[in-house]
Amino acid sequence: MPANKHICEAINIIDGLTLSGGGDIDGYFLGQPTHEMATDIWPTRDEAEINIVRLAYERDMPILGICRGLQVLNVALGGDIVQHIEGHKQAEARNVPTHSVKISGQLTEIIGVADIMVNSIHHQAAGSKVPTPHLQVCGVAPDDVIEAICAPGKRFVVGIQWHPEELIHISEHFRIFEEFMVSILYK
């Protein structure tokens, strides 16, 4: 069955969209050859997620992108990604924060701090300092890798490069999910 056959129906029955982590985005959707280090490529998933993000964004539906989800969000709204970076796949367990992220803008309001320790389990990332005209950078790693993007003016559109679901025991990470749920429940 084609990935996009039921997207218009699905968008009508959901109140918020979470884009999870997972495999790498096919270079086709970037207008580039796929990087040799790319793994778990699933173009059907890429196409479906890109299309549902566009619909959700147009409807001002709350969107939370986690890791790959940040990358899909950025690509769907006209940005690009770096297909391979070194040094962002931690050896420690996923529930161990390993590097800091400087937080700004809307994300500071959500989590209540200007710096946060995060885990790091990725090798692709948003590709430029201003990812797309629809989004702003709201989190950067010490090596200048974009770690968070937000859409000011929207109810809730946040992409984060780390996995807060693995760090839910830390209140700042829990607040991301809490604010996402509040944006759904209190339109």
Cα 138 from chain centre = 12
Catalytic residues: 67, 163, 165
User: Residue 18's CB: how many other CB atoms inside 10 A?
Assistant: 14
Q: Is the dihedral of CA 95, 88, 117, 92 positive or negative?
A: positive
Whole-angstrom distance, CA of residue 120 vs CA of residue 111: 18
Provide the b/e sequence for 38-47 (b: ≥16 CB within 10 Å): beeeeeebbb
Give the bridge partners for 139, in sequence order. Answer: 103, 148
Name 91's Cβ contacts closer than 8 Å, sequence gap at least 6.
none
